[in-house]
Structures are given as C-alpha cells and as structure tokens.
Structure 1
Amino acid sequence: MVPLTLAEHGELAKGRLPAVIWDFFEGGAGAEWSRRANLAAWRRHVLRPRVLVDVSAPDCGTELFGDRLAAPFGVAPMAYHQLAHPDGECATARAASEAGALLIVSIFASRTLEQIAAAAPGAARWLQLYWLRDREALTALVRRAEQADYRALVLTVDAPKVGRRLRDLRNAFALPAGLAAANLDAELTSSARQSATGRSGIEEHSRQQFDPSITWADLAWLRQRTRLPLVLKGVLTAEDARLAVEHGVDGLIVSNHGGRQLDGAPPAPAVLPEIVDAVPADHPVLVDGGLRHGTDLAKALALGARAALVGRPVLWGLAHGGADGARAVLDLVREELLDTMVLAGRPTLADLDRDALAPWPATAAAPR
C-alpha cells in the first residue's frame, strides 16, 4: 500500500513496531484527554474559501532565524528515533533536509549531534534541551550545538518531570539494550534502562535528572552561555508569553507536549491566538500538537503561527520506510498545504490570516 494520508502511514508503522514501542510513541498522560483534544481541536475551525483568485503559483516558502524553508513546518523534538528505525535521527535529518523542513533534535537523540549534522549538512537544525540538574552537561551540549552549526536552542519548559503516562507504566517501559541517549554520559541516563512492574524507566529518569527548581531567573544563566536564539517550548498562556519576552527569549512554541505532560492542558489552537497577540511580531510563534493534515497546518498559520511542527507522523514514516518514509510524510504535509491554499483562494502565507477561519461548530462538545 502506498500511503495517501498520515493515518495510513500510522497503520503501516503500527504493523511493524512492537506494541510496547508503539505505546511509548502514541501514549499520552493520565486519561489521555489532552492527547485526544489535540486531534479534535483543529476540527473546531473551518476555512473560509475565497473564489476568483489567481492561484496559479501558490507559495508556501518561509524563513526562520535566517534559514529558508520550503514550507512553514518542521519536525518536532522527539527522543530515541532508533526505536523506530536503526538509522534513527540521521535518517530523519536526511528526510527533513530533502523536504526543506526544519529539524529540532531532542536532547535524548539516539545519534550524536555531529552525526546528525553530517547526515544533512545543509538542513535547518535546532537543538531541544531539558534543564538538567547537571549544568556542566547542559553547557557542553550547548557548545557542541554551536560547533555543529545548530541554529537555535529550544528549551522545553513544561516538564519539571515526565508526566504520568499509563501505557508506559503498564508496560514497565525502559530503554532496550543497545539504545542510548548518544549525546549524554551513560551515567546520566542509566535509570531510563531500569524496568520494574508498574514503573516507567523514562519517568524515573526524569525525576532524577531534571531540575524542577528552575524559574524565569535561570534563563539569564543559559543566555550568557550561548549566542544562539533561545526558543521556549511548552508555553500555553499569554502571561508566560509576555514573561518570556521580558526575559530575552527569541521565540515560542505553543505546545502541550503532545498530551504527554499535564492531562487537561488545553490544545494549542485554543490558546494560540492569545499568545501570538501577547508577543512582538518579530518573535516567531510556532505550534505543535495533533496536526494530521495540510489543512491543520493552514489553520495553524491562520491563527497566527509562523510555522508548525509535526511529531508522531514523522516517526510513523521512519518506522515503515526509513528516511524515505519520513520524507514521504513531510512531502505529503507540504502538498496538502499547497492544495489547501489553492482551493481556499489563499495563494500566499500572508493570505492565511484570521479572516481565513470561522468556528465550527460553535457549540462543539469536549473530546471524551
């Protein structure tokens, strides 16, 4: 089967992956309300098509921090791509580079920063960080990212610890033998390998290594150690968006962590407009969570996002097709976006403004 939708990529991946790994990728926190809400939220808006518009040459290219992208989208930071395919993040990097997409590499990548950079030298790459208790390890990562030509740092701020993910607890999920966080000392991630009934090695690792005491004041410490733009991921309120700007942050990613952290946190479309309105126009606001079609990307842009990030579907493509599968996922999203722009009579990204959307239905029920 040649997959024609992201959902079909998911079906192919599910058939190839062990159930425990599928659950690790797909699961959310708690009752998974926020994970389901992410998918439902994009359906709360409809596009308002304009007609008799010249759509013969639609253009969805954009720029972020000096890098030109073929479309306003990228790969969200996700850990341990080698769980999906032996080539791991190197395959994902090749796919993103060929598709002209941004790649955000996780601090828990299973290939080194340098290997990933070498796999796709011309790609737009950012590095995602969690704030570790070991600040020397954090500083070393920042220096390596600068040396390997990563273009920005993404600090995830919604994870003082990993959320309570019931699928992982039931599966006693732990990293399998032979898989490692390639950019960190093995001692820092050893607890992620420990399996016990009713426990998650990933959650236990976060309790030991993530620093839950950091505040806005700590951002100055990180800013002093890098020349790279700093983006905060996991902001869901206008109040925090304004504080981020006050503390010298260069951009934001509106995200509830794919529904994997606070269950009950709002999906991005519900709060994206207030956050866009709270920050200066020269501070790019990105978004992730539940995008499964190019129409979802169009809606994200109309709500004010500069770009959107795709997460799980990239791993689906990687799982069943390696770099080619991941590239197919990214190409599909771009093709669907261009198709949407043409059929909606919105041939440029500037045309995808809030006037392009309407609520639907106005009294939509919350996801169950």
Structure 2
Amino acid sequence: MKSAESAPIRAAHSRETPSVGRLLGTSEQMREVRDLISRVADTDVTVLIRGESGTGKELVARAIHRSSPRRDRTFVKVNCAALPSELLESELFGFERGAFTGAIQQKPGKFEFANQGTMFLDEISEMHPPLQAKLLQVLQDGEFSRLGGREDVRVDVRIVAATNRDLESAVSNGMFREDLFFRLNVVCITLPPLRQRRDEIPILTELFLRHYAEHYNKPHITLRDATMCLFQRYQWPGNVRELENLIKRAVVLGSDDSIHRELAESIAGRTKGPGPIPVLQWPTKPVQPARSPEIVSVPAAATFAATAIGSLKDIARQAARMAERELISRTLQQTRWNRREAASILGISYKALLYKIKEAELDKTS
C-alpha cells in the first residue's frame, strides 16, 4: 500500500535554504568528506553523518540527495529531538482515524511523503527505544504500520541520519539499539569542527561575504584585519553556522563593529578558563619579533597582519576563488559535464554556472 503525495506537500519538503561554502575547504578532512559524498551518492546505502552542531550535517545530507538518482524526488527532514516520542511516532509513521482522541481522519506520515526519495533523520540519538525498533523494521523490510493501523505500508526510502553524540556510548548504556546502530552506520561521514579548519576560515568568510551581499542586495564589505585575527583565535562552539550568522549580521549592518566587539569580549572571557588559545599562524612572510616578551594584544596582531606581504583580504579572495573553482570542476566531472545537473547540485542558477565556468576558464580537460 502506498500513499500518493500532493504537489504542495512535495514542494514544502523540497524547499531548501540557500547556503554557501559549508563543504568547501582545502583541508584533507574536507576533501575526504566531498569524496565520500560523491562515492555513496549514487547508491542506496544508509549514511550516518557525525559532527558537532553547526558543522553542516544537513548540508551533507542534501548534497547526497542532490547527487543521487533520487534527486528529483522528495527530501524530507525530521528532527528527532524536536518532538516528544508520542508525537514523533505519528509524525514519522502517520495514524489512522480513531487511533487516539482527536484523530478524526487518516494522516500519512513523513515516510510516505518521502517515498522514493530521501529521509534525513537529524539528532537520531534522541529517538526513544520503542521508536528505534519501528525504524529498524523500515530499514530491514521497507514497511511499517500507521499508528492505530493494521495494514502494512510499503515504502522505498533512503535513510540518512545525523548525530552530534557518541552513539557507541549510547549503545553501551542501553539507550540506543546496537542492531539499529549497525544498520545506520553502513557509511560514516565525520565533519570536523571549524576550530580544526582554521586555515579555511578566510575562504569561508569571503564566500559568505559575497553570498549575503548579493542575497540582501547590500554592498560588499571588507572585514578589518583585527577582526580576522579574532576569527583565528575564537573557538567557534557553533562552528560554520556561527561564522555564517556573524557574516550575515555584518553584511546586513554594513559593518563588522558588533561582531568585532562580541568576539573580543568572548575571547577575553575564554582565556580565563583552561586550555590555551591556539597560536595564530599566517601563511605569510614572518616579521621581526616584538622587543617585549609580553603577550601579543589584538591591536598588535592586527599590525602584524597589516605588515605582512599581501593583505589578508587578498589572500582570502584568492583562496575563495580557488576553492570555488575546485568545487565547480569536481561537480562538472561528477556529472560528466551536464551543466544543468551541476548547477542543481551546486544550488546556483544555470546562467550563473555558465558565467563561473567562463570566469574560471574551465573546460572538459581541466
């Protein structure tokens, strides 16, 4: 038994918020992430995405979907921590009329909406054990019953799950089913936190600056060198999402004053706690050491950046262009130079992709 999905529902589930740069980067870790996405996308294996909040787990799930044979079907996201267990069950599996008080008519669940598409289960570690058993049945047999129902509903859904928790510990503590863990963990993609990708912060910053200036029709602003120094010293507990939101605020306000002040205060507070602040290392010509052995202040760090060969802004722009060129080239190779398909995967218009191909001087031999 299958449930047909209406066009409005399909459109609502397929809508995506524009975001740029989360999966870019020149580090070996991010290259491995992109490589894994391209290798698993055209299969139906379940994928477990691991990483701290804000590292881009949903973006990876969407990239897998957009690169898969299911790209023209529905992508459905469900946050397993957003609803109580009872509501989550009816949300995922639907319910029959009379299943509980207030159930005046049958309602299909998210699994039926995702039929022949992709289901993204975020924060899978928060799912309660009884629901885990029902999810396991879907993974094993491709079927389930609605709440209060007697008939089995068959679906063809690819599962991509994500967590920021240690699932192995949850299994050991009896909070997560071991058999479900093995079913989900066929391919594991681990996203590194931003503090382990500090060399890529200028690249991401420039990409976000360009994107949101265009998105909000605002002039392109340039962050001062002192702010970029703070970016390198900050611990980024919210990871790339936090960086993106800070850049969005700076673009909308037309200045980096507020984020400069906020980060400076945060860093000052954090330095009182345990753990050293990472040493700032610029990929530029070293300058003479200061005469005083005192700790370098933020203004001194700004002077250091300003006196180095080539400004940080130029370095960031060049790195952003190189990273963007690499991503476009890899996507074109993956799609065998089907430019419309590549534009869809990259989340840009076909016309914009043609312009970028010409600007980057890319061809099939690149």
TM over 0.5, shorter chain: no
TM range (shorter): under 0.3
**Larger fraction in strand:** 1
Structure showing greater Rg: 2
Q: With CA pairs under 8 Å and 6+ residues apart, which has the higher RCO, 1 or 2?
A: 1
**Larger fraction in helix:** 2
Instruction: With the length of structure 1 as denominator, give the TM-score of the two structures.
Output: 0.27
